[in-house]
Amino acid sequence: MRTKLFAVSICFFLLLTVVSVAPAYCAEVEEGEWITKYTVRDSTGKLLLKFDSEAGINETYSQILAGSELTVTFTIDILVSGSGKLRLSTSMQPSSLHTVYWEVDSVNYSLSNPNSATADFSWTKGTVEMICYGKIPSSAVKSTPVKFTLVQLSVAGGDVLDQIKPSVYNAAMGNYQSLLEAKQEKLQSLKDSGVSAGYVELFENVIAQAQAEFAAGYVDNAIALLNALDVSAEPASAVMESLFLPIIVIVAVVAAVLGFLFLRARGKIKYVLLILEDQIKDLEGLTLRASKIDRTIASSLDGVKDRLKSLVGM
């Protein structure tokens, strides 16, 4: 009996030891919270991103575009020392402005190979100030924004601990994002100034349609829709017509392009039909709202809707 009790006691002691040690190890390799501060600047020194966990700052000042030369300055807080090495890596190409990928601004640390996209350094408790130089490939972004790894911290040959991985856009997408922010600010100003609810609702619908076009990969169409919201005054009837006539033309062009794709890309017929049907549904809602403000505009939109329906055989 004593032998059994002794064996049970030993097992219980070992279990308590594992439970007490496990959290400390997990905290040591937990993803996130290693890179506590960073800034991202372009080749002119313009601040694009800023993050500071202590100050509660996480700001995007400007979109990061494919093809940009970047300087990423960051701080790594190493709470405990560990065996082996820590590894830095980046998906950026070599900078054309600097001869190295990495610089260390901390006397107690050094990198194994600052000229390489991957470099190791000692896993020693302390705070490390680092700089990464590089260029985002122009081909990194196609039709939609991508998450791009500027800096990644990992255990050498092991788990990822933290990373700086913002969204990257191409030039057209960057233009769209800037326009969208401007139109959203304009929309808010219309609401604050007490412009009629019908006009505000139509403005919101055009923005929503532009966002849908962007999400579907039609960046140029999205930009054209947002540009159509440029008016000198609101919400007089004549101005309303000048606002929506360009939209009617744009929607007609979209219909023609989609019709062309329908004929040329038979392997994508179902996808194109779905896009067309979505366009028709959105257009029906916009026509209904426009009819409450200007029947001429509503009639023109209705004509475009009928042409779209003829394409899909509705």
Express each pLDDT in 289-310 by its tens digit.
666 655 655 565 565 556 556 6
Angstrom distance (rounded) from CA 246 to CA 242: 7
pLDDT digits (tens, 9 = 90+) for 113-133: 999 999 999 999 999 999 999
- The pLDDT assigned to 63 comes to 86
- The pLDDT assigned to 253 comes to 59
Angstrom distance (rounded) from CA 140 to CA 65: 10
Statement to judge: residues 188 and 277 lie in one domain: yes
Statement to judge: residues 108 and 228 lie in one domain: no
Kindly state whether residue 159 falls inside one of the protein's structural domains: yes
- The pLDDT assigned to 312 comes to 55
Angstrom distance (rounded) from CA 252 to CA 304: 6
Statement to judge: residues 151 and 197 lie in one domain: no
- The pLDDT assigned to 257 comes to 60
Q: Is 105 helix (H, G, I), strand (E, B) or coil?
A: coil
Statement to judge: residues 234 and 307 lie in one domain: yes
- The pLDDT assigned to 307 comes to 59
Statement to judge: residues 151 and 180 lie in one domain: no
- Selection from 120, 121, 118, 48 nearest residue 90 by Cα: 118
Statement to judge: residues 277 and 176 lie in one domain: yes
Q: Do the Cβ atoms of 76 and 127 come closer than 8 Å? A: yes
Statement to judge: residues 127 and 186 lie in one domain: no
Statement to judge: residues 249 and 225 lie in one domain: yes
Contacts 24+ apart (CB under 8 A), 78-81: 78/34, 78/123, 78/124, 78/125, 78/126, 78/127, 78/128, 79/27, 79/28, 79/125, 80/28, 80/125, 81/123, 81/124, 81/125
pLDDT-above-90 percentage for the chain: 36
Statement to judge: residues 307 and 179 lie in one domain: yes
Kindly state whether residue 279 falls inside one of the protein's structural domains: yes
Kindly state whether residue 245 falls inside one of the protein's structural domains: yes
- The pLDDT assigned to 200 comes to 79
Instruction: Choose the final residue of a domain: 136, 169, 202.
Output: 169
Instruction: Choose the final residue of a domain: 149, 169, 189.
Output: 169
Instruction: Choose the final residue of a domain: 148, 169, 190.
Output: 169
Statement to judge: residues 81 and 161 lie in one domain: yes
Kindly state whether residue 17 falls inside one of the protein's structural domains: no
Statement to judge: residues 37 and 159 lie in one domain: yes
- The pLDDT assigned to 293 comes to 59
**Radius of gyration of the CA atoms of the chain, in A:** 28
- The pLDDT assigned to 296 comes to 54
Kindly state whether residue 287 falls inside one of the protein's structural domains: yes
Kindly state whether residue 136 falls inside one of the protein's structural domains: yes
Domain with 68 in it: what CATH number?
A: 2.60.40
- The pLDDT assigned to 11 comes to 43
The overall pTM is greater than 0.75:
no
Residues in the chain where the model's pLDDT stays below 50: 1-30, 236-241, 266-267
Q: Is 104 helix (H, G, I), strand (E, B) or coil?
A: strand
CA 254 from centroid of its chain's CA atoms: 25
Range of the domain at 92: 30-169
Kindly state whether residue 41 falls inside one of the protein's structural domains: yes
Angstrom distance (rounded) from CA 54 to CA 74: 14
Tally of structural domains, the chain: 2
- Selection from 256, 253, 210 nearest residue 229 by Cα: 210
Statement to judge: residues 86 and 192 lie in one domain: no
- β-strand partners of 131: 73, 103
